[in-house]
């Protein structure tokens, strides 16, 4: 691939930063524009340009993204937050080509209650979910979380009274066991290209800190994913989160219709969804076959040091910095 201009959103988070690092690995000469709701973030040193944009649910967002795309000649957008995926998928030709599923799919998976409703209606096994106004003690162990939240923000395990929350939240059955994060990729033709499951441990904010590959649940996961792709037209990257109980049964409870927070980890295990997206969208060809390897990963905290400058002086990867 020759040099390209690509835009990655949400570079303040681990999803966006992971996608940028993978692009750098694949296309060292690519011009990468990073966007975020703050000009300064932990991903600033990875990007050629960093641009501040409003939240994706504001009236100005799409106009600003369209202007950025035209001004910089953006060829492909990698949305890395659920909200932006939903908004950009619906924008059509107003913005550059975007790595995402169709609008109806992104909308359904952006809303955790809608996810449950659509998949359960299609006969896909999924965690029981109710709006607080409809919850009448159908199950005891509960998780109450925002319908359109991200990470583990404002999540409540076994609150005393789930009905005290308004209907911007969802009450979900809480399962006990090992959390498995599953990335899968669907070609533009609709064909399933591959999946990789990681058994993981999370920090309090929902970020993976330790993980290892596992194939124990592949057959069951493939069956669930087949049901998902039959219920909604999924294209490109998607992430399914499940709990595996002590008997080995899996219980899906959340879907993120975008790249995963472990994208940069999976890349080294042969699950190369960023590369596949580049091959499909920029080269117009069938992606390379998946060749998996086993492995584990641990995340560490690093510092980006900017000597002799203040926060306002941090611009992009050209700002002198030290990784320590």
CATH of the domain at 60: 3.40.50.20
- Beta-strand pair 49-52/31-36: parallel
DSSP 185-224: EE-TTS-EEEEEEEEEEE-TTS-EEEEEEE-TTHHHHHHH
**Of 173, 206, 232, which residue is a domain's last?**
173
For residues 16 and 95, state if they share a domain: yes
Q: How far is CA 213 from CA 168, 242, 251, 291, in A?
A: 35, 14, 18, 13
Alpha-carbon distance of 77 to 280, in angstroms, equals: 13
The answer as to whether 223 is a domain residue is no
For residues 39 and 93, state if they share a domain: yes
For residues 9 and 89, state if they share a domain: yes
Best CA proximity match to 268, nearest among 84, 16, 21, 103: 21
The answer as to whether 277 is a domain residue is no
Alpha-carbon distance of 188 to 284, in angstroms, equals: 10
For residue 85, give its domain range. 5-99
For residues 14 and 78, state if they share a domain: yes
The answer as to whether 315 is a domain residue is no
The answer as to whether 118 is a domain residue is no
For residues 84 and 161, state if they share a domain: no
For residues 154 and 91, state if they share a domain: no
For residues 74 and 135, state if they share a domain: no
Counts for the chain of helices (H) and strands (E), in that order: 8, 17
The answer as to whether 91 is a domain residue is yes
pLDDT in tens, the chain (324 residues): 458 999 999 999 999 999 999 999 999 999 999 999 998 999 999 999 999 999 999 999 999 999 999 999 999 999 999 999 999 999 999 999 999 999 999 999 999 999 999 999 999 999 999 999 999 999 999 999 999 977 667 899 999 999 999 999 999 999 999 999 999 999 999 999 999 999 999 887 778 999 999 999 999 999 999 999 999 999 999 999 999 999 999 999 999 999 999 999 999 999 999 999 999 999 999 999 999 999 999 999 999 999 999 999 999 999 999 999
Alpha-carbon distance of 232 to 114, in angstroms, equals: 12
pTM beyond 0.85:
yes
The answer as to whether 24 is a domain residue is yes
Alpha-carbon distance of 39 to 56, in angstroms, equals: 15
For residues 70 and 144, state if they share a domain: no
Per residue in 59-92, pLDDT (tens digit) is 999 999 999 999 999 999 999 999 999 999 999 9
For residues 13 and 86, state if they share a domain: yes
Alpha-carbon distance of 188 to 11, in angstroms, equals: 26
Per residue in 199-234, pLDDT (tens digit) is 999 887 778 999 999 999 999 999 999 999 999 999
CA 118 to the chain's CA centroid = 20
Q: Do residues 142 and 174 lie in contact, with contact meaning Cβ atoms separated by under 8 Å?
A: yes
Q: Tell me which DSSP letter residue 112 carries.
A: H
For residues 91 and 169, state if they share a domain: no
For residues 60 and 139, state if they share a domain: no
Q: Tell me which DSSP letter residue 51 carries.
A: E
For residues 150 and 92, state if they share a domain: no
Q: Look at residue 151 in the predicted model and tell me its pLDDT.
A: 63
Q: Do residues 62 and 321 lie in contact, with contact meaning Cβ atoms separated by under 8 Å?
A: no
Q: Locate all alpha helices (DSSP H) within 154-293, ordered by sequence.
A: 218-231, 263-266, 273-281
Maximum distance among all Cα pairs of the chain, rounded to whole angstroms: 59
The answer as to whether 291 is a domain residue is no
The answer as to whether 111 is a domain residue is no
Which residue shows structure tokens 């641009």? 51
**Of 99, 119, 136, which residue is a domain's last?**
99
Q: Look at residue 275 in the predicted model and tell me its pLDDT.
A: 98
Contacts of 232 (CB under 8 A, 6+ apart): 101, 104, 105, 108, 109, 118
Contacts of 26 (CB under 8 A, 6+ apart): 1, 274, 275, 278
Q: Give the chain's domain count.
A: 2
């Amino acid at each position: 691939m020759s040099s390209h201009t690509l835009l990655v959103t949400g570079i303040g988070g681990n999803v966006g930063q992971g996608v940028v690092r993978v692009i750098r690995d694949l296309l060292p000469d690519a011009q990468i524009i990073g966007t975020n709701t703050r000009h300064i973030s932990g991903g600033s040193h990875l990007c050629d340009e960093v641009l501040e944009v409003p939240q994706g649910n504001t009236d100005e967002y799409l106009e600003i993204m369209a202007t950025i795309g035209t001004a910089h000649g953006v060829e492909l957008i990698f949305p890395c937050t659920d909200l932006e995926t939903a908004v950009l998928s619906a924008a059509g030709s107003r913005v550059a080509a975007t790595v995402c599923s169709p609008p109806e799919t992104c909308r359904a998976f952006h809303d955790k209650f809608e996810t449950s409703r659509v998949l359960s209606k299609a006969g896909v096994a999924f965690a029981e979910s109710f709006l607080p106004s409809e919850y009448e003690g159908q199950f005891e162990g509960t998780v109450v979380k925002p319908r359109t939240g991200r990470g583990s923000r404002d999540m409540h395990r076994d609150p005393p009274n789930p009905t005290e929350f308004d209907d911007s939240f969802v009450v979900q059955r809480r399962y006990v066991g090992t959390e498995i994060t599953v990335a899968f990729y669907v070609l533009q033709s609709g064909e399933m290209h591959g999946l990789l499951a990681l058994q993981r441990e999370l920090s309090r904010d929902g970020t993976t800190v330790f993980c290892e590959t596992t194939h124990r649940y592949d057959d069951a996961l493939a069956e669930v994913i087949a049901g998902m792709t039959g219920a909604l037209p999924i294209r490109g990257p998607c992430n399914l989160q499940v709990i595996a109980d002590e008997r080995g049964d899996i219980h899906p409870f959340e879907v993120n219709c975008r790249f995963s927070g472990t994208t940069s980890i999976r890349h080294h295990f042969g699950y190369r969804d960023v590369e596949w997206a580049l091959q499909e969208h920029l080269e117009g060809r069938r992606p390379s076959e998946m060749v998996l390897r086993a492995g584990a990963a641990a995340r560490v905290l690093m510092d980006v040091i900017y000597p002799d400058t203040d926060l306002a002086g941090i611009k992009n990867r050209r700002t002198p910095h030290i990784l320590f």
